[in-house]
Structure 1
Amino acid sequence: MNRIKILILSLLFFHFSFPKDHSFHSDFGLEWCYFVGHIESDTGNVYGYELSFFRLKFSDGSDWNPEVYPVHFAISDFSSKKYRNSQAIKRTIGGIAGFSEKAIFSGTYRLEIISKDKFHIQAQSKSKDLSLDLELEGNGKILVHGKDGLSIKSNRNPNIFSYYYSYPRLKTKGNLFVNGKREIIVSGNSWMDHEWSEKNSKSIPTLARGETGWDWICLSDNSGGDYVFFRFRESGGLTPEIFGTYRNPEGNTTTWKEPGQIQMETVGSFWKSPATKIEYPLHWNIKYPGGEWNVFPIFNEQEFDGSKTTSTIYWEGGVEAIDPIQKKSAKGYLELKGYKKPKEWWEF
């Protein structure tokens, strides 16, 4: 039995345990836990937000394994179509970053794990004019992806994987400070995504290595269904691989992992970022067994330049969707990673 088969078989015996697994995992080298949501203030303004906690562990084969804790934070003002973001990266030195079973923190950014179904998130930008303080409460229905949480990202390379679960429909209240004013958040829904991978995997392909990218969409529809669609892109002109998870209003989960089950296509022209000149496909048509989604951004300018912390530039923002077949609507978030800035004319 080869090394890859041994690795896969060993991974299948992992089982989630909450609330413990809401926190980070010291045995793994790459991990992220993030929250996105659509929220509304007492003044009627509607916002989207992203708060992402990362953990990167570098191993040189010795006993010294330094860790860094980047954070990405953004608020999208859907009412005025304005976008603000902030980022930070801290080390464990001096106790300014780290994690425990009850918390993940990095500088002025913090996730408190109150219980299996309750969270408290706080974010304070360096400039102090952008902040967030939210309490989140779930309904007990965590959404597990793949086989018992083992999410294979590529059928061609099954050793490219993560442990992956989501927590949709977290009821959200609190406050935020943006555009020079404080807003009291009285309602909204947040979506938590948590993934970790890369355990002793220097010599095999992983999510963080190579010329890879992905298109990820989470949607919660108005009838109680939750969806994740994931389009994994590898270099070399290979056909993207598409995976999906659906949980219906009754709580039954369906996983789509075979080629052709989902069609996920871009629609229309790409949007070109005026800041980075990167072009992103912001409009999508997704066909899945039994339905179809037309996905579009609430507004275009929701690009995150994380060059200073994670060396990535990506688009992540609030979207809405219409199902023309079943006459349903949905709200969610779209993430587009791995789109590159075109070369300048003198570089060709």
Structure 2
Amino acid sequence: MPVHAIWRSWRPVLLLGSLLGALLAMAGCDDAPPERSSAGFAGLGESDGGYMQASPDTPLHFPADHGAHPGYRIEWWYLTANLEDEQGEPLGLQWTLFRQALLPPGAPPRETPPEPAPWVADQLWMAHMAVSQGEQHAVSERFARSHSTTSPRQAASQAGASAHPFRAWIDDWVLASDVSDPEADTFERLRLAAFDGEGDKRFGYRLELTAKGPLVRHGDDGFSQKSADGQGSHYYSQPFWHIEGEVTLAGKTREVSGRGWLDREWSSQLLSPDQTGWDWFSLHIDSGHRLMAFRLRGGGNDGDDYRSGSWILADGTTHPLDSQELAMTPLATARVAGREMPTRWRLEVPGRGLDLIVEAPHAERWMETTVPYWEGEVVARDHDGGERLGVGYLEMTGY
């Protein structure tokens, strides 16, 4: 979520005012749909301005790529989960940490003294947390700043992401590896803790995540093209999480278990300037397969939408899907936050014999955050027979 400013030594009030002002200017924060930008949704189509560029020529490396990439402008760690409580009632959650570089590599002032002032920083962080069940949808948002130096101060900073051992955090919201063996994959087991509110308004979760399959590279071995112009992102997922733990909503805590999906993505120009937003699906099919699919509105050939995805077998074998192999058709909308949001879709992957109706059981999943968007649980059913085939998450931006 971009913010365009040169960061030096700001007082706290100036930092907050500059941050919120930039974000509000990008995306709007009232009840009206955001204005269209000449740089794509939320400024993500702006030229990279001296930052490193995502490229298919840059291979992914683990565990290093689990950590932050401060040479790129934008980055996120994005977890969604479809869970059930002790009574078998469905419950959804999201935890996301966003990083925004405020200075490209080599831009002054890049170096800092051994003990920099507390408000000297070149990285901005934003985090979202949500818990949803039935008509309940609780959302929280936090902001922080840090410096990209690798000094010991970084581990004690307000927010950050380190690769080995893996840890991504903002204040006391922490996603961290539970693997102590330095030779093992630090993403085999994670733990997540995040809470907000007090009393009957308290919500959050304490979870253990165990990987039941391999990491998945999207697109061209981890480079995910986002428009016909060729720009894109480095993008991989862990779509095989088994999750157990406890979730608190409206002050009530219950035991939960289910499936999770973690996305990792970083870029310096994610969109083309004419792309106004996206519709993104992650689906857990009951057969053991997974489907990731997105539609970027604009940016395709001849001004069409740009579509891409991944068909993931139960063993983690991944087959990229291009616009010719994937159809995504909105079928019905619901009025949410003053917008018509497409909450019922048809997803078709003819080459895999897949024809799905994907629908949000509850439309009120608007994320009333500084950069607002829709994010919520969906159920996938067979188009012809109507039988339930899976669950997942849908994110929609730019409406």
Report the TM range for the smaller structure's normalisation.
0.7 to 0.9
Cα deviation digits, residues 244-289 of structure 1 (max 9, x gap): 21012354321112x4322211102x2112xx31221111011112
Describe the shift of the 1:140–1:222 C-alpha distance in structure 2 as closer, same or farther (beyond 3 A): closer
Q: 1:283 aligns with which of 344, 350, 359?
A: 344
Residue pairs, 1:1-348, within 5 angstroms: 11-59=55-103, 61-64=107-110, 66-77=122-133, 80-92=134-146, 95-101=157-163, 102-114=166-178, 115-127=186-198, 129-155=202-228, 157-159=229-231, 161-185=232-256, 187-198=257-268, 206-207=270-271, 212-234=276-298, 238-257=303-322, 259-268=323-332, 270-273=333-336, 276-289=337-350, 290-307=353-370, 312-324=371-383, 329-339=389-399
Contact 1:110 1:123 in 2 (8 A): yes
Describe the shift of the 1:256–1:296 C-alpha distance in structure 2 as closer, same or farther (beyond 3 A): same
Please list every run of at least 4 consecutive aligned residues from structure 1 whose deviation after the TM superposition is greater than 4 angstroms.
Answer: 7-10, 208-211, 325-328
Instruction: Tell me how far 1:208 sits from its aligned partner.
Output: 8.9
Describe the shift of the 1:210–1:104 C-alpha distance in structure 2 as closer, same or farther (beyond 3 A): farther
- Which range is displaced more, 127-136 or 187-196? 127-136
Cα deviation digits, residues 70-110 of structure 1 (max 9, x gap): 00110111xx3211111111112872112222211112211
**Residue identity in the other structure for 1:191:** W
Structure 1 Cα separation of the partners of residues 141 and 248 of structure 2: 16
Structure 2 Cα separation of the partners of residues 10 and 28 of structure 1: 8
Contact 1:221 1:328 in 2 (8 A): no
Describe the shift of the 1:68–1:210 C-alpha distance in structure 2 as closer, same or farther (beyond 3 A): farther
How many equivalent pairs are there? 316
SS at match of 1:154: coil
Structure number with the higher strand fraction is 1
Contact 2:295 2:306 in 1 (8 A): yes
TM-score (norm 1): 0.83
- Which range is displaced more, 127-136 or 278-287? 127-136
**Residue identity in the other structure for 2:244:** K
Relative contact order, higher structure (CA 8 A, sep 6+): 2
Structure 2 Cα separation of the partners of residues 137 and 301 of structure 1: 30
**Residue identity in the other structure for 2:188:** D
Instruction: Tell me how far 1:300 sits from its aligned partner.
Output: 0.8
Mark the runs of 5 or more structure 2 residues left unpaired by the alignment.
Answer: 1-47, 111-120, 148-155, 179-185
Cα deviation digits, residues 95-150 of structure 1 (max 9, x gap): 21122222111122111023231111111225571121111010232121011100
Structure 2 Cα separation of the partners of residues 67 and 126 of structure 1: 27
Once superposed, what is the RMSD of the aligned Cα atoms?
Answer: 2.7
TM-score (norm 2): 0.73
Structure 1 Cα separation of the partners of residues 129 and 162 of structure 2: 21
Describe the shift of the 1:238–1:305 C-alpha distance in structure 2 as closer, same or farther (beyond 3 A): farther
Describe the shift of the 1:122–1:208 C-alpha distance in structure 2 as closer, same or farther (beyond 3 A): farther
Cα deviation digits, residues 6-46 of structure 1 (max 9, x gap): x9998333222333322222222200111101112234332
Cα deviation digits, residues 221-260 of structure 1 (max 9, x gap): 1111100111011389932111121012354321112x43
Contact 1:37 1:189 in 2 (8 A): yes
SS at match of 1:299: coil
Contact 2:52 2:72 in 1 (8 A): no
Q: Which residue of 2 aligns with 1:201?
A: none
**Residue identity in the other structure for 1:335:** E
